[in-house]
């Protein structure tokens, strides 16, 4: 019995779920939020950088800012719940976050303003394939994947 309690304690620590109202939350960009001093990077996805642009029908479009604003709009004044997974190399918490039962990561990828970060996870590949098949978001534009954009800088 003590082994089970210890295992549950470890599991709870690793995957601690917490909730916060949106008024205590700041959206940093399309895949990162801040709750108090804690920076939370959405695991398994990669959104365009804030300064990143795309081209839609020969018009330059600020797709990085749009991704951030889409996330702000989705959260609105609702409660956000996150499941912590680990830390990244920059000390940010890696987590999947939700509004109700809706995964914010899945939402952003399906809308075409974030991508499955296949280097680290295969969790959101189906969402990306959906967005691509529908021509959602950046899939209807000329763009660089965020990881390629960062490599150019």
In this structure, is residue 152 part of a structural domain? no
Distance CA 63, CA 31 (A): 13
In this structure, is residue 148 part of a structural domain? no
In this structure, is residue 114 part of a structural domain? yes
Write the DSSP symbol of residue 22: G
In this structure, is residue 15 part of a structural domain? yes
User: Residue 70: its pLDDT value, please?
Assistant: 98
Q: Which residues are catalytic?
A: 41, 49, 92
Per residue in 81-120, pLDDT tens?
Answer: 999 999 999 999 999 999 999 999 999 999 999 999 999 9
Residue position matching structure tokens 């001093």:
37
pTM of the full predicted structure? 0.86
Contact 17, 81 (CB under 8 A): yes
In this structure, is residue 119 part of a structural domain? yes
User: Residue 28: its pLDDT value, please?
Assistant: 97
Q: How many domains are contained in the chain? A: 1
Q: What is the CATH number of the domain that holds 119?
A: 2.40.50.90
In this structure, is residue 68 part of a structural domain? yes
Per residue in 18-29, pLDDT tens?
Answer: 555 555 899 999
In this structure, is residue 90 part of a structural domain? yes
* Mean local confidence (pLDDT), 14-37: 77
The domain containing residue 27 runs over which residues?
2-140
pLDDT at 48 over 50: yes
In this structure, is residue 151 part of a structural domain? no
């Amino acid at each position: 019995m003590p082994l089970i309690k210890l295992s549950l304690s470890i599991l709870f620590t690793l995957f601690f779920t917490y909730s916060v109202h949106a008024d205590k939350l700041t959206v940093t960009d399309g895949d990162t939020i801040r709750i108090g001093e804690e920076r939370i990077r959405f695991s398994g996805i990669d959104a365009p950088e804030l300064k990143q642009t795309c081209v839609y029908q020969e018009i330059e479009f600020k797709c990085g800012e749009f991704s951030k604003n889409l996330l702000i709009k989705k959260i609105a004044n609702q409660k956000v719940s996150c499941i912590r997974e680990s830390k990244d190399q920059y000390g940010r918490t890696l987590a999947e976050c939700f509004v109700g039962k809706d995964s914010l990561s899945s939402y952003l990828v399906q809308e075409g303003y974030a991508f499955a970060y296949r280097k680290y996870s295969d969790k959101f590949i189906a969402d990306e394939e959906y967005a691509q098949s529908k021509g959602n978001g950046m899939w209807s534009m000329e763009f660089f994947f965020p990881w390629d954009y960062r490599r150019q800088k």
